[in-house]
Amino acid sequence: MATERPATVEPPVGIDELLERVRAGLDRVAAAAAHEAARSGDALLVDIRYAALRERDGLIPGALVVERNELEWRLDPRGSHRAPEATSHDLRVVVVCNEGYASSLAAVSLRQLGLHRATDLVGGFQAWRTAGLPVNR
């Protein structure tokens, strides 16, 4: 017997449509702009790549490393497990994943926690590296 979907539940969407929707609400930044914002203290770069990618490709100097499954707990300014850098809901956070997909979804999750300036890096770490920006091995 089939069950009916409640009227308040939205119909399912594919990942491409979901990404398009969430990115429409983000002020995504290019690698050079993210580098300048971090350098000037205007943004905190948060690297959510998993350990194997960080070991393979290196790290962005000064970026806070927080694996994706811990992100909300570490960046919630009111959370008991917050990182010291998570000082305010006004903090500008630029989430960095490998290629700029997972970071869009992560940034929206941070916005749902009240971090209204959260966004992500277009093209992720690979765009950073391609732009010739600093990487620590």
The 10s digit of each residue's pLDDT in 90-125 is 999 999 999 999 999 999 999 999 999 999 999 999
pLDDT at 21: 95
pLDDT at 34: 98
Query: Measuring CA to CA, which residue among 78, 88, 111, 95 is closest to residue 38?
Result: 95
Spatial separation of the C-alpha atoms in residues 75 and 16, rounded to whole Å:
26
pLDDT at 90: 97
Q: In this structure, are residues 57 and 135 in contact, taking their beta carbons and an 8 Å threshold?
A: yes
pLDDT at 51: 97
Query: Measuring CA to CA, which residue among 132, 126, 129, 136 is closest to residue 62?
Result: 136
Reported as a pLDDT band with limits 50, 70 and 90, residue 8 is confident
Q: State yes or no: pLDDT of 2 exceeds 90.
A: no
pLDDT at 9: 84
pLDDT at 116: 97
Spatial separation of the C-alpha atoms in residues 126 and 122, rounded to whole Å:
9
pLDDT at 5: 62
CA distances from 71 to 1, 75, 87, 88, 130 (A): 40, 6, 14, 15, 25
